[in-house]
Amino acid sequence: MLKVTIDDISIEVPPGTTILQAARMIGQNVPPAMCYYSKLEGSGGKCRTCLVKVTKGSEKDPRPMPKLVASCRTGVMDGMEVRNETSPEVIDARKGVTEFLLINHPLDCPVCDQAGECKLQDLSYEHGLAKSRYEFKRREFEKRDIGDKIQLHMNRCILCYRCTQVADQLTPERVHGVLNRGEVSEISTYIEQAVDNDFSGNMIDVCPVGALTDKTFRFKSRVWFTKPMLAHRECTTCSGKVTLWFQGSEVLRVTTRKDKWNEAEAFICNDCRFEKKKTEDWTIDGPAHIDTHSVIAQNHLPFELPVVQKNLPDAL
Ligand code: SF4
Ligand code: FES
């Protein structure tokens, strides 16, 4: 086991663990992650929000690392010492990264369906400037249609590559990707082909911002006004374990179940996500606990059950 100390808290972790993973194991002072996603192989290393300062490389070689490093891509060494929230340099760099991410991202939270569960919204509350210093024209993209269930708003994309990794790793063939380089990079389907496979809806759940949203839920409600319930059904394509988001007795949307890092516990199929919008399609397991440090946590405690519920276990 390797000993690592992050913001004066020590933990022993197995070889191969990254600094970010070790911080998540500790559960405190965890660097924000806009592109890393533990369920997606090869994710991370794109957004730089998870920068930390390594003040001691290892027991064998105690020299500090000369630059801040991406914690999602840097492996722990035995005896390593890391500063995250206790380093003014890291906080300053994170402010800079947030400012860069917001250069082209429109501040349309009042009309964006992702508001309340958007990682960039959280990041800008914590590290953003009240006013942009950018004076040039922002990137703008033509609207692209990527199918009848998923809405792409390229202007909001931060190019984290998570959605392309979902497509790569969950589906037999990928029909979208990142085109071009630099400021003109964009997510697009080649020749506007629809993203049409059984698991494409998971791109919505992994998108940290509102660039990919659920067309069947668009503009129906702010997420903090909905009531999330864990539910399951027999499904031959996926685990069938989901979160239902109720307004009264109506299921407004179906998503994966999320862990405390806002990552999907298990990916679900499009049939469960888009086609099973009736309460009777599901067996309700109980209220979903919203455990993320985000706007969505508002209005969800104390939890109230929706008015009409079928299949509720007796204990509820
Ligand atoms: S659309 Fe969303 S998930 Fe895909 S690269 Fe852009 S921000 Fe990331
Ligand atoms: S989470 Fe580490 S670079 Fe994006």
**Is residue 195 lining ligand 1, measured as CB closer than 6 Å?**
no
Judge if the beta carbon of residue 13 lies within 6 A of ligand 2.
Answer: no
Query: What number does the ligand 1 atom closest to the CA of 159 have?
Result: 5
Domain contains 81: yes
What pLDDT does residue 295 have?
62
Residue 231 domain boundaries: 223-297
Please check the confidence at residue 292 and state whether its pLDDT lies above 70. no
Q: Is the CB of 212 under 6 A from ligand 1?
A: yes
Establish if 66 belongs to a structural domain.
yes
278 and 253, same structural domain? Answer: yes
Give tens-digit pLDDT for 71-118: 999 999 999 999 999 999 999 999 999 999 999 998 889 999 999 999
Q: Do 163 and 124 lie in a common domain?
A: yes
Q: Are residues 76 and 111 in the same domain?
A: no
* Nearest residue to 223 via CA among 276, 273, 295: 295
In a domain, 235, yes or no: yes
Q: What is the pLDDT of residue 316?
A: 37
Residue at 304 is within a domain: no
In a shared domain, residues 178 and 251: no
Q: Which CATH number do you get for residue 69? A: 3.10.20.740
Q: 199 and 136 share a domain? A: yes
Note the pLDDT of residue 67.
96
Smallest CA separation from ligand 1 atom 3, residue? 207
What would the pLDDT profile of 206-252 be if each residue is shown by its tens digit?
999 999 999 999 999 999 899 999 999 999 999 999 999 999 999 99
Q: Determine whether the shortest distance from the Cβ of 120 to ligand 1 is under 6 A.
A: no
Read off the pLDDT band of 306 (50, 70, 90). very low
300: pLDDT strictly greater than 70: no
pLDDT of residue 27: 92
Ligand nearest to the CA of 164: 1
- pLDDT at residue 308 tops 80: no
Residue 302: predicted pLDDT: 42
Considering the domain architecture, whether residues 163 and 231 belong to the same structural domain is answered as no
Find the ligand nearest to 69 CA: 2
Mean pLDDT of 149-172: 87
Q: Is residue 24 part of a domain?
A: yes
Separation between Cα atoms, residue 31 and residue 85, nearest integer Å: 8
Domain-located, residue 269: yes
Residues 80 and 111 in one domain: no
Of 189 and 123, more confident: 123
| Residue 309 domain flag | no
The tokens describing 189, both together, are 């389907």
How far is the centre of ligand 1, averaged over its atoms, from the C-alpha of 18 (Å)?
A: 23
| Class of residue 160 by CB neighbours under 10 A (exposed 0-12, middle 13-18, buried 19+) | buried
Does residue 300 line the site of ligand 2, with CB under 6 A? no
Write 307-315 long-range contacts (CB < 8 A, 24+): 307/248, 307/249, 308/248, 308/249, 308/279, 309/249, 309/279, 309/284, 310/279, 310/280, 310/284, 311/279, 311/280, 311/282, 311/283, 311/284, 312/284, 313/284, 313/285, 313/286
Q: Whats the size of the chain, residue-wise? A: 316
- The CATH number of residue 160's host domain is 3.30.70.20
Percent residues over pLDDT 70 in the chain: 89
What is the percent of the chain with per-residue pLDDT over 90, rounded to a whole number?
A: 63
Same domain, 256 and 199: no
Average confidence (pLDDT) over 142-154: 86
Output the residue whose Cα is nearest ligand 1's atom 8. Answer: 160
Mean pLDDT of the chain: 88
Residue of higher predicted confidence among 135 and 274: 274
Together in a domain, 205 and 122: yes
Instruction: Kindly state whether residues 207 and 274 are assigned to the same domain.
Output: no
Is the CB of 70 inside a 6 Å radius of any atom of ligand 1? no
Best of 104, 187, 200, 267 to mutate for ligand 1, by most ligand atoms within 8 A of CB?
187
Q: Whose CA is nearest to atom 1 of ligand 2?
A: 33
Per-residue pLDDT reduced to its tens digit, 45-60: 999 999 999 999 999 9
Ligand 2 atom closest to the Cα of residue 33 is: 1
Number of domains in the chain: 3
Least distant ligand from the CA of 152: 1
The pLDDT assigned to 311 comes to 45
**Atom from ligand 2 closest to the CA of residue 71:** 2
Do residues 53 and 22 share a domain?
yes
**Domain co-membership, 77 together with 107:** no
Number of the ligand 2 atom closest to the C-alpha atom of 48: 3
Residue 23 within any structural domain of the chain: yes
**If pLDDT is split at 50, 70 and 90, which confidence band does 315 have?**
very low
